[in-house]
Structures are given as structure tokens and as C-alpha cells.
Homo-oligomer: A and B are copies of this chain.
Amino acid sequence: QKQEEQTTLMKSLNRLWTLLAIVLVFLTPLAYVLTSSREHYKPLPDGTPQHQGVLLVCLGAFLGYFLVGFGLMFGTSAGGWIGTSSYLLSNDVADPNQAPLFPFAEFVLYQAGFTMLATLIIYSAIGKQLSAASHLLLAAFVGIILVPVFGHWAWAGQFIPGNKGWLEAAGFMDAAGSTTIHSVAAWFAFVLVWKLGRQHTEQASATKANDDAAYSSSAVLFLWLSWLGFTTGTLPISGNQIGSTMLNVVLAAAAAGLVAFLHYSFFHTGKGMIARALGGFVTGLVAVAASAHSLLFMEALVVGISAGLIHNLAFSMLRKQFLTQAWQSRAAYLVAIHGVGGVWGSLCVALLGSEGMFAMPNVALLLYQLQGIAVGLVYSVVLAQAAWMLLAFRQRTPIVAN
């Protein structure tokens, strides 16, 4: 009976930790609201609704995820492909062998944070090119299908260990969503932004290209705080893992931001420097997400330094080759940060995640990770086509041709 009380106490402790993590991940929409603070300088006639559409996007994603998405993602698996229970927030785990690792409501809220994050990446990349209503529809699509289905493949076992998805069962590891959330959302956004761009006949105004950062300082700082929750929310409070995971996150982000700044300012002058620093910083966060719990401090620094360089190179390439119009600048940042950064993060799990300082990469794991990355890419492109057809009734012309 005393043992029982001990267990109750330890359970309450872990619950409390999860609650703190929920608060942290719920800071995410703040980051994206403040992202748009740049646009405050020239308020547009209908700029404000667009800006505040951030909230609307969250609402859409939230309700969709709660009512349908969560069941699809973490319900009893049909062959590792989709979940088939827990719809409408019914906590109906019958099989006692399938006891969940976390209390139901807390886990739903915590996971909803990841869905919000994916929705907001897509919202930010597209921006004013779709109306608020279209964004709402898109958000529902993301919360009901895009995140949950791939999420089931990669993460279903996080809730009920015996209920693994097929990718996870095949060996894919993605602790805090470098592929599952970031890359999937970024490729999805990339396809939509590219398609929207082909409808324009805009004269590419290359001079304006570097003007528009994807994040502002305050947005980056809120993301930083939310990351402390995203990467640690499912770790046990007893033991040293949470603290060192947080320290890894902070180290990687700081190194990435600094390297992106120094690399850019060594070759260029002027205005883009801070935008690169901010983008690099977030790329560091994204890249370290998948492996932060298993890295040593110096390894986290290496992840960060490489992420900073990768961000600058990926952005330049995307801007020159694919997203050349002025309004696509933000999308280029977001795809570099979340898409390319997410891929790099998923690879780092295999490259650096083994025990021991800079131990040899785990080759088998590297193949599993490559499989997961490739599946994520194909999946996102296919679903983006579906979403494009769904949006057929959207406004043909952009609301604001900036």
C-alpha cells in the first residue's frame, strides 16, 4: 500500500511536468502572431484580419485534431496505417495490455501543440495569398489528415507502446518531430506556395528578396521557450534527461544562429544579417529536436553549427531556383528552416545519437531514417495535391499583391 502511494506521487510528478510542457508548447501560436509584427509598419486595409487569421488557423486545427485527428493518430492501429479508436475524445482503451503511458487529456493537449505548429508553418508560408476562410479549411485538413496519418506511422507507439505505426516499427526514430512535423509541413507548404506562384505573373523583384524575414525576435524567443516543452514533454522527471535535453536545445540553437550570422556577414553586408541569424536559430531548434535527448553537449554544438550553415545554403538555393517571387521570401525561409532543417535533424539521430562522444554513426539507423525522410516527402507532396484540389474554390487572385 505504501508502494502504491509512492506510485501515485511519481505519477503526479510526471503529470505536473507534462502540464508545464503543455503550457510551453501552447506558446507556439504567440510566436506566429508576433512573426507578423513587421507588417505593422504598413497596415493594409484587410491586413489585420489576415494577421489575426493565425488564431483562426489554430481553432480549425484544434477542433479537427480533437474530434478526428487524435483518434487517427493514436487510436488502436489498423496494421500500422491508421488509428481506429479514440475518436471524439473518447478514451476507450479496452485491452489492459495496451495501457497508455500518459494520462489521456494531458497527452491530447500536448500533442495538439505539435499539430498547431504544423498548421502555423503552413499558414505563415502562404500568408496573404489565401483568404481567412481558405486558411481555416486548410488548417482543418492539416489537423484531420496531414499530421495524424503520418503521425500514426511514426509516433503511435509513443502513447501505447504495443500500438506502433509501420515506420516506427521499421526502425524510424523521430523524437520531437523533425520529420513528422517540420519536414512534412514544410514540403506541403512548399508545393502549395510553388503552385500559387505559377498563377502569378509577377515581375520578380529581386531587390526586395532579402527584406522579409520569416521570424521576428520576439517570435523566435517564444519558439525557443516552446521548444523546451516540445523536446522534453514525454521524458520522465526523475533522472537527468530533461535538463540536459534543454541544455542541448539551447546550445544547438545558439550555435546555429551565431554561425548563420557570421557566415552571412562574412560574405555580404547589410540588412539580411539578422534575418539569417533568426532563421539559423530556428533551424538549430528544428534540427536538434529529433536527437536532443540523446546527444552530449559538444555533439549538440556540432548539430547547431551545421544547421546554421545548412540554413544559409538552403535558403539561397530555394530563393534562386524555386521561390523567386518577392512574396515567396518568407516561404523560402520556412522551407529552409523546417524542411531542410528537419531532414538534417532526422539524419543527426543516426549520425551523432549513438552513445559516446562522437561515436561512429549507426549505419542501420541511418537507412531507417532515410526511409522515413523519403516517405515523409512523398506523403506531403501527394497530400498537397489533394489540398490543392480541395482549395479549388479559393480566391483566384491574392488578396494583397504585395
Contacts and interface: CB of A to CB of B under 8 A. Distances in A.
B59 A12 contact: no
A277 B55 contact: yes
A12 to B, nearest CB: 5
Chain B CB count within 10 A is highest, among A22, A59, A88, A224, for A59
Contacts of A136: 261
Interface stretch (A159-167, A235-243, A321-329, A365-373): A235-243
A250 interface: yes
Interface in A34-66: 34, 37-38, 40-41, 43, 46, 48-49, 51-56, 58-60, 62-63, 66
A134 interface: no
Given A228-B23, A243-B105, A244-B105, A222 B30 contact: yes
A12 B13 contact: yes
Interface stretch (A1-9, A169-177, A193-201, A345-353): A1-9
Interface in A259-318: 261, 265, 271, 273-274, 277-278, 281, 297-298
Nearest to A27: B225
A209 interface: no
B59 A109 contact: no
A15 interface: yes
Within the oligomer, what is the number of copies of this chain? 3
Given A20-B23, A89-B297, A55 B238 contact: no
Contacts of A254: 58-59, 62-63, 66
A51 to B, nearest CB: 7
Contacts of A9: 6, 9-10, 13, 238
A387 interface: no
A246 B298 CA distance: 36
Given A5-B6, A132-B274, A26 B105 contact: no
Interface in A208-266: 216-218, 220-222, 224-225, 228, 237-238, 240, 242-244, 246-247, 250-251, 254-255, 257-258, 261, 265
Interface residues of A, number: 88
A82 B132 CA distance: 50
A125 to B, nearest CB: 18
Given A12-B237, A22-B246, A271 B46 contact: yes
A55 B257 contact: yes
Contacts of A251: 62-63, 66
A20 B22 contact: no
A26 B225 contact: yes
Nearest to A253: B59
What 10 A-B pairs have minimum CB-CB distances, sorted nearest first?
A105-B243, A106-B243, A105-B244, A49-B274, A52-B217, A105-B247, A89-B297, A62-B254, A52-B274, A33-B217
Interface of A: 2, 5-6, 8-13, 15-17, 19-20, 22-24, 26-27, 29-30, 33-34, 37-38, 40-41, 43, 46, 48-49, 51-56, 58-60, 62-63, 66, 88-89, 103-106, 108-109, 112, 132-133, 136, 216-218, 220-222, 224-225, 228, 237-238, 240, 242-244, 246-247, 250-251, 254-255, 257-258, 261, 265, 271, 273-274, 277-278, 281, 297-298
